[in-house]
Amino acid sequence: MKDKKTLTFSIMDGPYEQARTVTVFRLLDNAARRGYNLNVFAYEGAVNLPFSKQSKHPNAVHGHDAAEEDHPLPKDWVASLIQTAKKHGGALDWINCGLCVDERGAHEAIEGCRRGTPGDLWKWAQQSDNTLIVGTR
Amino acid sequence: MEKYLLIESRDPYETREVENNYALASSLAIAGNDVTLFLVQNGVLPARKGAKLNGLQEVINSGVHVLGDEFSLRERGIAMDTLPKGIRAAPIDVVVDQLAEGRKAIWL
Amino acid sequence: MKVLQIIDSAYRCTIEEQDDPAVWITHAMKGAGADLDVLLCGNAVNYAVKGQDASGLRFGEIVQKNPPKLDNDIARLIGKNINVMVYSEDTAARGITEAQLLPGVRRVSRTEAPTIFSRYDQLWHW
């Protein structure tokens, strides 16, 4: 394992309307497998990523029922990233911006994701080797 | 000399700001900094052979390390062995490496 | 640690409580002790223009009582001793004159970016 580092990410987008979710998940996955300590500050629509009420559904265009389609949901990927970080000796701490949660009614987050404030982002940034802000466009 | 990591996720065909971002990368390199421009998502579209580079050639000429994300290239059917001279395919590990080394990083 | 907040996304949050989330989070983090400056570029240079008015939105019977006041939000940043800069090329391209900018906003050229960036530990692009 490479030297343990701490990286902080801030993301702003909901799961699907753009490509940044994919890239950020790839970065988190890569860093988690190195055993890094990771912090994610979910701002604005990104608070929907770990929303626990997401559910699988059939895909008639693919001709699949929900089980056959077996489409991974963002909340499951977030949970898996948290587990992957832990498995490799690191940690992934996830904070949802509390006011953003309130505005969107996204209160039910999966285990491992908690509510916080922009002050948490600043605190994390000071404690991290680097911080990447992934703004929305 | 400082080290910069610029991550460009957009292409110059849809978004004019991208040409400003290319110019930023060039200016940082010309000022003597070590600059990586990592193209990802639609940011790799100019890396297709025959595509209009819209300022990316100047970035290459200025000494910036221009990298194209392997997954984004593959996702768009851009063969990695046909990239223009000065653009190299790279795994996303590079971004994590450079974040970890503490480079000044900007998601453009 | 000193951070430069680079903001270019603009006018996408007219009905969100935070006016502009990047400007808002700058205020919030400053309140938490952060050392920040702001560089407005692209369409966000218009945030530094005096006399913005987003009032009057009414959908059905519901009126937006507290619309965004971005010029006020920027002026309050300056009031907190946060340096607010705009790219002069971007204001010029949009026909924004110096007289139309809020007092205290500093115009800088894109060619100065390497020098400006060198003064900050991190660059956060919103």
- CB-hemisphere CA count at 13 Å for B14? 10
Q: Does C122 touch chain B (CB under 8 A)?
A: yes
Summarised one tens digit per residue, pLDDT across range B42-94 is: 999 999 999 999 899 999 999 999 999 999 999 999 999 999 999 999 999 99
> Which of A119, A125, A136 has the CB atom closest to C9's CB atom?
A136
pLDDT at C96 over 90: yes
**Percent of chain B beyond pLDDT 90?**
98
Summarize the confidence of residues A19-32 as an average pLDDT: 98
Contact A134, B41 (CB under 8 A): no
pLDDT at A2 over 60: no
Which residues of chain B does C41 touch, with a Cβ-Cβ cutoff of 8 Å? Answer: 20
pLDDT at A47 over 80: yes
Domains of chain C (ranges, CATH numbers): 2-125 (3.40.1260.10)
Domain A6-134 class in CATH: alpha beta
Q: Is C8 exposed, middle or buried (0-12, 13-18, 19+ CB in 10 A)?
A: buried
Q: Does C64 touch chain A (CB under 8 A)?
A: no
pLDDT at A136 over 60: yes
Which residues of chain A does B69 touch, with a Cβ-Cβ cutoff of 8 Å? Answer: 23
Summarize the confidence of residues B26-34 as an average pLDDT: 98
ipTM of this complex: 0.97
Summarize the confidence of residues C57-78 as an average pLDDT: 96
Which residues of chain A does B94 touch, with a Cβ-Cβ cutoff of 8 Å? Answer: none
Give the span between the Cα atoms of A64 and A60, in whole angstroms: 6
Summarised one tens digit per residue, pLDDT across range B80-97 is: 999 999 999 999 999 999
Which two tokens mark C101?
């900018």
CA C14 from chain center: how many Å? 14
Q: Does A137 touch chain C (CB under 8 A)?
A: yes
Residue A78: enclosing H or E segment and its boundaries? helix A74-87
Which residues of chain B does A88 touch, with a Cβ-Cβ cutoff of 8 Å? Answer: none
Cβ neighbours, 10 Å, residue A23: 23
Confidence of residue C21 (pLDDT cuts 50, 70, 90): very high
How far, CA to CA in Å, does B26 sit from each of B17, B37, B66, C124?
14, 10, 11, 19
Domain B3-107 class in CATH: alpha beta
Give the span between the Cα atoms of B68 and B73, in whole angstroms: 7
> Which of B2, B16, B96, B108 is the best substitution to test chain A (most A C-beta atoms within 10 A)?
B96
Give the contacts of C53 (CB within 8 A, at least 6 positions apart). Answer: none
Q: Do A7 and B96 touch (CB under 8 A)?
A: yes
Which alpha helices (DSSP H) does B1-106 contain, by range? Answer: 17-30, 56-61, 70-75, 93-100
Give the span between the Cα atoms of B58 and B53, in whole angstroms: 9
Q: Do C29 and A119 touch (CB under 8 A)?
A: yes
Confidence of residue A3 (pLDDT cuts 50, 70, 90): confident
**Strand C58-59 and strand C62-63: pairing?**
antiparallel
Q: Name the residue ranges covered by the structural domains of chain B.
A: 3-107
The pLDDT, as a whole number, for residue A107 is 97
Give the span between the Cα atoms of C100 and C51, in whole angstroms: 9
Give the span between the Cα atoms of A9 and A41, in whole angstroms: 6
**Percent of chain A beyond pLDDT 90?**
96
Q: Do C123 and B105 touch (CB under 8 A)?
A: yes
Confidence of residue C18 (pLDDT cuts 50, 70, 90): confident
Q: Name the residue ranges covered by the structural domains of chain A.
A: 6-134
